[in-house]
Amino acid sequence: MLAHVRSALVSDQPAAHRVRFASYNMLDMYGSDEAGERERHAQVVAVIRELDADVIAVQELSSSPETADAGLASLADAVGMHCSIRQRSAKADLQACAVAAGPHGLHVGLMWRDGIEPLPHTWRAYGGEDFWHSLAKITLDVGGHQVTHASFHAAPFGRQRRNDEAEQVVAALAGPISSPPALVGADWNTVGADRLRDEQTQQWQLYDPDPYAGAPWISDMIYQCEWAYDDSGARRHWADRHAADILSSGGLHDVAAVLRAPWQPTIGHWPDSELSRHGITARFDAIRVTEQVVPALHTHRVVRTSLSLSASDHLPVVIEYDPEALGRPTPVPSR
């Protein structure tokens, strides 16, 4: 069983065993041993502890691929969580860590608290052959329910590549309805495309506003925008949402949109970011779920504190779901 019980955060919901799942891009964690970076890494650890997550997906664990396991093991030890998995080999089962190494020195991983157990031989890591960064997934036993949790980091460059990666993420996680319900926390490196129906007008509206609309053109927008020219040669630009649309159309639904949570950015606060210097804020970090998880969702929040603002250029995202409500798929309305 889960190690603790969470009280319902919605007044008309009964108390329930809630699972708290978080996603956090840690900004080059352990990538430098300079004093300032060691201090920031300690802040990242403090942020993770304060999240009090049952399961957390992390991105930007920095190391060589050969030392990625040691890096995640060190982080798990620092925050009091687990990351050990059994990995099948040709001769025997080997102990390893739930980290998927990427080809560019930044890796993703998964950690979980006491009382949650990884199911043998459900671990999968996808790296450089498939992604710019990587995708990690494992099926966990949470209170007697089998639930797949995943961590992903999308390509920072190449809008077409992000589209291809989105298709591969859908293929890896949004399988047949008989597959375990799945959740993935990620830095998607793009704004969302999930739509909500306005109950009064019955019109469909994008959950995420366009962060680039009205902003002057800067060269970094080539990684995030589409653009066209009018007859006078003036450029018009807007957010490229194709990768996000593939995810939602493929059955991976954005929890923030599903719950109609108040919109909050996860990037744009970091002074070294080119977008930040131009006053652009956006929501790149999100948790997406398969349809089996939709009826189990309860809460969503972006953790915006003085500590999280100073620890990383991305803010953590935290959701809660009730495993007792899993397995009863409710199709999400889509346009």
Q: For the chain, what's the residue count? A: 335
Q: Check: CB of residue 167 under 8 Å from CB of residue 250.
A: yes
- Using the structure block, give the residue that is written with the tokens 């990383």: 312
**Looking at residue 82, what DSSP letter applies?**
B
Is this structure's pTM higher than 0.95? no
pLDDT score of 92 = 54
Would you tell me the crossing angle of helices 35-51 and 68-79 to the nearest 10 degrees? 60
Average confidence (pLDDT) per 10 residues, the chain, 335 residues: 36 63 97 93 98 98 90 96 81 80 95 95 92 97 95 96 98 84 97 92 94 93 96 96 98 97 97 88 98 96 98 98 79 51
Structural domains in the chain, CATH included, are 19-214+241-325 (3.60.10.10)
**Edge-to-edge strand list for the sheet holding 317-321:** 99-100, 106-112, 55-62, 19-29, 317-321, 297-302
pLDDT score of 1 = 37
At 251, list the tokens: 């059955």
DSSP string, 33-45: -SHHHHHHHHHHH
pLDDT score of 65 = 84
pLDDT score of 179 = 84
DSSP string, 121-163: T--EEE-TTT-SSEEEEEEEEETTEEEEEEEEE--SS-HHHHH
Residue 134's contacts (CB-CB under 8 Å, 6 or more residues apart) are 100, 101, 102, 107, 108, 125, 126, 127, 128, 152, 153
pLDDT score of 147 = 97
Cα separation, 241 vs 245, whole angstroms: 6
3-state secondary structure (DSSP) of residue 75: helix
pLDDT score of 334 = 53
Cα separation, 58 vs 73, whole angstroms: 13
